Amino acid sequence: MSDFRQAFIQFAIERNVLCFGEFKTKAGRLSPYFFNAGLFNDGDALRKLGQFYAKAIVAAELPFDLLFGPAYKGIPLVSAIAIALAEMGRNYPFCFNRKEAKDHGEGGVLVGAPMQGRVLIVDDVISAGTSVRESVELIKTAGATPGGVVIALDRMECGSGELSAVQEVQQMHGLSVTSIINLNDLVAYLQHHSGLAQHLQAVQRYREQYGVNY
């Protein structure tokens, strides 16, 4: 596991973004862990989060021309990532959308740089894939090309069928999905941290029951 992935897990635990226990998911499953990216909610946390996304993007060597953050969670994410990439000497334009079109001033639903070229969609997690689908439609309508998706966590568990939510997005839209960490990274982290050993078996059982290997 890359050093930045291990550091991200530690960071998420310290911020109580990643918690262990028993949590009911939208699918009605009892998950032994919970990830709430909304708790990256101050300036320093957002700065560091942007840096982790940037490292994942660079490590994956993703080809893109523009960063796009879907409203609302994607707006601070795309802003932080653009700053982090610029600090690494990689200056990219970014934009985001409004939930409702503005009928005065500059108008429209898009804010920021012009929507053009290959567009990298930024989000926190992929659950049902609704946000990605809406983003793809918006990007294509604007005449640009969806170029991929980057998220914080890939839970690697089956969605509505045998595929994971990430695999469903990849199959439906033909897009690559990159994550800072996935469930395999979390298991590896727990295996090497004795203070969290009590959670390892529960996470492994959950992966055996609902997990998808890839």
Of the candidate ranges 15-29, 35-49, 70-84, the one whose mean pLDDT is the lowest: 15-29
- Neighbouring CB atoms inside 10 A of 9's CB total 23
Q: What is the pLDDT of residue 161?
A: 83
pLDDT at residue 106 tops 70? no
d(CA 117, CA 190): 40
CATH number reported for the structural domain that contains residue 169 in this entry: 3.40.50.2020
Task: Report pLDDT digits (tens) over 115-162.
Answer: 999 999 999 998 767 889 999 999 999 999 999 999 999 999 987 788
Task: Report pLDDT digits (tens) over 196-213.
Answer: 888 999 999 999 999 998
Q: Give me the torsion for CA of 25, 81, 46, 43, rounded to 10°.
A: -150
Structural domain containing residue 89: 3-210
Q: What is the pTM of this model?
A: 0.93
Closest by CA to 115, choosing from 143, 90, 86, 136, is 143
Number of separate domains in the chain: 1
d(CA 178, CA 37): 16
Catalytic residue list: 102, 104
DSSP assigned state of 180: E
d(CA 42, CA 40): 6
